[in-house]
Structure 1
């Protein structure tokens, strides 16, 4: 079965083809330079850019894979959570293709797709503990199967990736800045007392990084010499960092505070809610080198398999959408043309139908993502 995946949940426009669970190819258009001018994603510009880029990306993907539209057997699109305007563009294209090609349509939960993406590269052992860490989300799940996600904890305010990106903005690093924080931290020893490990004085599995962001802002206000006095390209940034080694210590300390907070909550979940057979870590921050190192130590101590997608599958991509869409279609689940886009902050319901349509199918909340009995 050949599935076309469409990803437009935020500021990356992407299309991918997955055949029988394996990636054929994908095409990506990044809006990074566009939004860098504003220091963050501008929703209206993002949706307009998706609208412009998608037709050319589809033509590129079909040409590179020597595929025709008639070869596509399933169309999948990210339905949420994300920016509503951006989601509507991708989902609209998916509906048009599914209708014209007379093939099943599958709306995909963007967050669950992140956690399942590693399945294209290796087998996933269930039940798994899933840690999703990105610019917009920090969540923990118990994953009993590709269709059964139980939400254990979520961020109450800022996500870990947002804290990293905002800290980078305070230092005048290029946007998006999380990867620059990680790069500057490499080779430096963190100071565990420099920044707090936020929201650990409790027994729950939720997260909160707004206080850490405030602490970092206050620290930079007291040490303004750490701010880079120009808009740095990579070469200038390396030179500045070599001349100011204290910057590396600050970045390493922030990195450690976030990574150690995430590890502490993971340990809490492992001890309180097991057993688990694997730990899946996904999302853009899953590429963070310190987080990967700490989680490697954690899983080795608990005899767990650590599943980390390759860096290209950590950030937003269409391969994960196509793969999750393929999994659902293979199991007989699909949507009709009334499927709606779901913006961030609203629950996504299980409103799939069986092939052929089962009129008795009832929606259930995807916080405990599983098919109805």
Structure 2
């Protein structure tokens, strides 16, 4: 089975060709970083227009890289949500057009499921497993019991961790995108223990996250130091923030591991996915935790942690194996929870946080 995957949920336009033998025949990603950097974040209209301008060319390039023609493709899979709706519409309509023209099955993939199943593409991880899904818009702990079968153990009550990285990088004057720039700055720290930052939710019951207080603490240190920060101040604060996030993640994951083992005594792996999973400090901390808890640890290659179409094609293959396809009148979704039965996270004010799902 050979599937064309299309990803347009945010600020990467991507196309890939993947086989059910876990072979990535082509994987093309066009970043819109230069388009959005002047604004300090992703501008939805600019993103949608860029997808519209470049997607056809990327698909042609993926086909050429794979050495295949459309006659060799068995199905088309595209991100159907969640995401910036303008971009999602571009990808879905393109996939529908190809499917209709070639008489191929169409699969609308949940973008989060693409991340969730990446470890099965790269490492053939068996179900069930515990997933830490961390990105700019999402921060969740989920038990993955099968394709389309997810049980959420925890989520953020305020900021997603990737959002916290971006906002902190902006406070430090590092620019956009925040995650990679903050990690780079942290590597230059001469005194990483210089700043004492709070560890939100550590030691508390449950598996939920919180990052707004941590971001506020960073802002207070910046105000005390005065701007612009020196390179030394930037590096030491970045290191403190990054280490704190890793410790918070490890604490929340440790609690989720205990619940996972109660639910599935036969065991399973700890998997990390999403853009923030590219952070080396976080990966190292989770590896240490998994070793301590006696669980295998799986982190996909860095290029498959950030948004890509290979994961979308693979998720499409997983669903096609179960006989699942979508009609051509599928409506793109700006919101699409993996676990629709999960209750909204309750923030400090006692109301749902409105976190993207």
Task: Please report the TM-score for the alignment, with normalisation by the length of structure 1.
Answer: 0.86
The number of residues matched between the two structures is: 337
The answer for the alignment partner of 2:348 in structure 1 is none
| Cα deviation code 1:185-241 (max 9, x no counterpart) | 22645328621111336312121211211111121111125636xxxxxxxxxxxx4
Question: For residues 288 and 65 of structure 1, what CA distance do their matches in structure 2 show?
Answer: 30
In the superposition, relative to structure 1, how do residues 181 and 33 fare at CA in structure 2: closer, same or farther (>3 Å)?
A: same
In the superposition, relative to structure 1, how do residues 137 and 183 fare at CA in structure 2: closer, same or farther (>3 Å)?
A: same
The answer for the alignment partner of 2:326 in structure 1 is 335
Question: For residues 168 and 126 of structure 2, what CA distance do their matches in structure 1 show?
Answer: 36
- Residue 78 of structure 1 aligns to a residue whose secondary structure is strand
Once the two structures are TM-superposed, the CA of residue 10 in structure 1 deviates from its matched residue by: 0.4
2:259 pairs with 267, 272, 285, which one? 272
Kindly indicate whether the alpha-carbon contact (under 8 Å) linking 2:79 and 2:110 is maintained by their aligned counterparts in 1.
yes
Question: For residues 116 and 337 of structure 2, what CA distance do their matches in structure 1 show?
Answer: 18
Q: Runs of 5+ in structure 2 lacking a partner?
A: 344-357
Question: For residues 71 and 341 of structure 1, what CA distance do their matches in structure 2 show?
Answer: 27
In the superposition, relative to structure 1, how do residues 226 and 288 fare at CA in structure 2: closer, same or farther (>3 Å)?
A: farther
- Residue 206 of structure 1 aligns to a residue whose secondary structure is coil
> Where in structure 2 are the equivalents of 1:233-252 lying within 5 Å?
241=231, 244=232, 246-252=233-239
Question: For residues 308 and 109 of structure 1, what CA distance do their matches in structure 2 show?
Answer: 20
In the superposition, relative to structure 1, how do residues 226 and 298 fare at CA in structure 2: closer, same or farther (>3 Å)?
A: farther
Question: For residues 303 and 339 of structure 1, what CA distance do their matches in structure 2 show?
Answer: 43
Q: Runs of 5+ in structure 1 lacking a partner?
A: 229-240, 350-364, 369-373
The answer for the alignment partner of 1:237 in structure 2 is none
Task: Determine whether 1:292 maps to 2:292.
Answer: no
The answer for the alignment partner of 2:158 in structure 1 is 157
Task: Say which is worse superposed, 170-179 or 318-327, in terms of deviation.
Answer: 170-179
Kindly indicate whether the alpha-carbon contact (under 8 Å) linking 2:130 and 2:260 is maintained by their aligned counterparts in 1.
no
> Where in structure 2 are the equivalents of 1:73-112 lying within 5 Å?
73-112=74-113
Once the two structures are TM-superposed, the CA of residue 177 in structure 1 deviates from its matched residue by: 1.6
In the superposition, relative to structure 1, how do residues 70 and 204 fare at CA in structure 2: closer, same or farther (>3 Å)?
A: same
The answer for the alignment partner of 1:236 in structure 2 is none
Once the two structures are TM-superposed, the CA of residue 338 in structure 1 deviates from its matched residue by: 2.0
Task: Say which is worse superposed, 55-64 or 40-49, in terms of deviation.
Answer: 55-64
| Cα deviation code 1:272-315 (max 9, x no counterpart) | 33143100001111111111111111010111110000000010
Question: For residues 192 and 267 of structure 1, what CA distance do their matches in structure 2 show?
Answer: 27
Task: Say which is worse superposed, 219-228 or 312-321, in terms of deviation.
Answer: 219-228
The answer for the alignment partner of 2:199 in structure 1 is 197
| Cα deviation code 1:323-368 (max 9, x no counterpart) | 1101111221111112221114x5469xxxxxxxxxxxxxxx4869
Root-mean-square deviation (CA, aligned residues, Å) is: 1.9
Task: Determine whether 1:313 maps to 2:304.
Answer: yes
- Residue 334 of structure 1 aligns to a residue whose secondary structure is coil
Task: Say which is worse superposed, 213-222 or 3-12, in terms of deviation.
Answer: 213-222
The answer for the alignment partner of 1:113 in structure 2 is 114
Kindly indicate whether the alpha-carbon contact (under 8 Å) linking 1:47 and 1:86 is maintained by their aligned counterparts in 2.
yes
In the superposition, relative to structure 1, how do residues 91 and 34 fare at CA in structure 2: closer, same or farther (>3 Å)?
A: same
Kindly indicate whether the alpha-carbon contact (under 8 Å) linking 1:170 and 1:227 is maintained by their aligned counterparts in 2.
no
Which 4+ stretches in 1 moved above 6 angstroms?
none
Task: Say which is worse superposed, 269-278 or 213-222, in terms of deviation.
Answer: 269-278
The answer for the alignment partner of 2:240 in structure 1 is 253
Task: Say which is worse superposed, 174-183 or 85-94, in terms of deviation.
Answer: 174-183
- Residue 37 of structure 1 aligns to a residue whose secondary structure is helix
Task: Please report the TM-score for the alignment, with normalisation by the length of structure 2.
Answer: 0.90
Question: For residues 309 and 226 of structure 1, what CA distance do their matches in structure 2 show?
Answer: 37
Once the two structures are TM-superposed, the CA of residue 126 in structure 1 deviates from its matched residue by: 2.5
| Cα deviation code 1:223-270 (max 9, x no counterpart) | 125636xxxxxxxxxxxx4xx2x4322111100111111111100011
The answer for the alignment partner of 2:4 in structure 1 is 4
